[in-house]
A and B are shown apart, each in its own frame.
Chain A
Amino acid sequence: MPSNKSVSDAPIVQFTNCRILRDHQLQREDLWVREGKILNPEKLFFDEKGSADVQLDCKDSIIAPGFIDVQINGGFGVDFSLATDDFKSGIDLVSQKILSHGVTSFCPTLVTSPPSVYHQVLPQISVRNGGAHGAGILGAHLEGPFISKEKKGAHPEHCLRTFEAGAFQDLLATYGSLDCVQIVTLAPEMRRSSEVIRELTKRGICVSLGHSVANLSQAEEAVQHGATFITHLFNAMLPFHHRDPGIVGLLTSDKIPAGRRVFYGMISDGIHTNPAALRIAHRAHPKGLVLVTDAIAGMGLAPGRHTLGQQVVEIDGLNTYIAGTKTLSGSVATMDTCVRHFQEATGCSVETALEAASLHPAQLLGIEHKKGTLNYDSDADFLMLNDNLYVQATYIAGEEVWRQDVLGM
């Protein structure tokens, strides 16, 4: 290549022979990366008179933004709701392993736990960039304990709490610190929830409605106070009723404040939601759908018994239940499996399926200016996938951090 007159010495990599997901479409374009960010090649060409230092042939792969998992309780034997001595190495292990599922950023999730667990675990979670060591941590997702007894699902009843006495102060006392917290799931029908929602939203924390028996107007009020997410739609909430749609009704509510969008998590593992229900939700509000795994410690391991915070769960194939019951508790699905299943079940385009796991979670967390897209100047976190949406390679900040072993490991 002729001498590169670009302004910076940093190497410029040009990924060619690929189809990239940009502007909601797969386009036959090259992807240019410099210093961990997506580069604008036209500006490089005309303004800097620069050219690529390295050209990589992607063999006609699809290049999509890295997946963002906003609800993952653990995996590979690690449980984020267990205050163990080697908690830090546990979170490191999971963040490294999920690279092979295409996840480049995630929110480690803690289920309902006693305050002591939060006080010990939360200080050990820090927001950090991803890299060869593993996927980036965006912040913790605290699912509970301020949830409804009737819809506790797999959460332990003795740890449930309310905040009717001291509202936000109660919440702060329970968790100890909100420094690295990105999302809080609570039940909006609880007394004084509006104050709590407003206070959390003011601090930039995303409030999610879940494990609740709220009716539609309670849910709408919560949204007006700042709630923007629904935790695993359909699961752990009142079923849709035509005269009171409950939380599910938020998907088509006309009381959402202008300029705001309500997002909803869906575990598309084929078990948590019937494909027909998945399709109804998707068709009602396609732009709000966020794919999550809700994966538990047993994900990535052989079937058997594992923990989920204070509970014991049994895994049998893809089904994960509280031991001895038929209560679903998390999943063992991986993010890329969820993307594929979502695409098959809804018959949606490849672009839509990929955006549900990348663009939409980024929009939910308000970080789409740097994550979740392949726009110029975004962080270069991306995946190479084949046409069947199997991840072939994972890149974070422009560096390859995982590649599918040809021998199929």
Chain B
Amino acid sequence: MKLIILENYSQASEWAAKYIRNRIVQFGPGPGRFFTLGLPTGLPRDHPESYHSFMWNNFFKHIDISPENVHILDGNAPDLQAECDAFEEKIKAAGGIELFVGGIGPDGHIAFNEPGSSLVSRTRVKTLAMDTILANARFFDGDLSKVPTMALTVGVGTVMDAREVMILITGAHKAFALYKAIEDGVNHMWTVSAFQQHPKTVFVCDEDATLELKVKTVKYFKGLMLVHNKLVEPLYSMKETGAERSQSKKPYSD
């Protein structure tokens, strides 16, 4: 794995954004050649705090994506399992996920794969753990009774099939989960730990999230920042011609 440690939330966000941008540009997307971005899923559709609203306000309305290329799990589908199975098919049809971007719960979950989820699970309905419900209460005016208790989610296995996985972890409250994810063993109680067996993972975090890690781990990866920063500098642009882009050196990866 690559562990990228930045000073704070904004710097971590910026590094991740630049990395994703470079990855998209170098992939060379075009009609029929989709750069498939995987993102975790959640709440029912027509709530102002729904995942649809969140994705629209924070992502889709700022970019020129065509609506038919957006696939979000529909929590209101009549047959939830069929909805999940169809989602898996859509991923296959798009050529598989190129880059999965996700966060980590305080209980170490990836997407809504709560502690105890199978590490080879696929897209399915999950009942949320209390930790997750508490964490989501802030979107529902702190009223626990209003927080949804179930969610459709991609499985750990689904994410493991992605060609690359990027996990963003910021804040001291995530520090213990990060420790369990990368310094302890692979364990279905901390589902993010599954990525220790993925060939290409990037963890992007801020200083606060490293609070539970060994000093040795942190020093090692901070020492690698010179190399890792080559992944975000130079910053590529879609406007460069194909020839220039293919000539640019593939960034060294550890």
Contact = CB atoms under 8 A, between A and B. Distances in A.
B72 to A, nearest CB: 8
Chief secondary structure at chain B's binding surface: helix
Contact of A41 (B61, B66, B68): B61
A49 B53 CA distance: 15
Interface in A22-41: 30, 41
With most chain B CB atoms within 10 A of its CB, the pick from A2, A41, A46, A50 is A46
A5 B67 contact: yes
A266 to B, nearest CB: 36
A45 B61 CA distance: 9
A2 to B, nearest CB: 4
B68 A49 contact: yes
A42 interface: yes
A interface, over-half SS? loop
A51 interface: yes
Nearest to A44: B67
A30 B61 contact: yes
B67 A51 contact: yes
B56 A2 contact: no
Given A30-B61, A41-B61, A46 B68 contact: no
A328 B60 CA distance: 56
Interface string B45-67: 10000001100110011000011
B56 A51 contact: no
Interface in A1-23: 2, 5
Interface residues of B, number: 12
B67 A49 contact: yes
Contacts of A46: 45, 52, 56, 67, 70, 72
Interface residues of A, number: 11
Contacts of A48: 67
B56 A42 contact: yes
A51 B66 contact: yes
A93 to B, nearest CB: 42
B106 to A, nearest CB: 30
Contacts of B60: 45
A278 to B, nearest CB: 38
Contacts of B61: 30, 41-42, 45
Interface of A: 2, 5, 30, 41-42, 45-46, 48-51
Given A5-B68, A42-B52, A51-B67, 16 more contacts: A5-B67, A30-B61, A42-B53, A42-B56, A42-B61, A45-B56, A45-B61, A45-B67, A45-B70, A46-B45, A46-B52, A46-B56, A46-B70, A46-B72, A49-B67, A49-B68
12 contacts: A2-B66, A5-B68, A41-B56, A41-B61, A45-B56, A45-B60, A45-B70, A46-B52, A46-B56, A46-B70, A49-B67, A51-B67
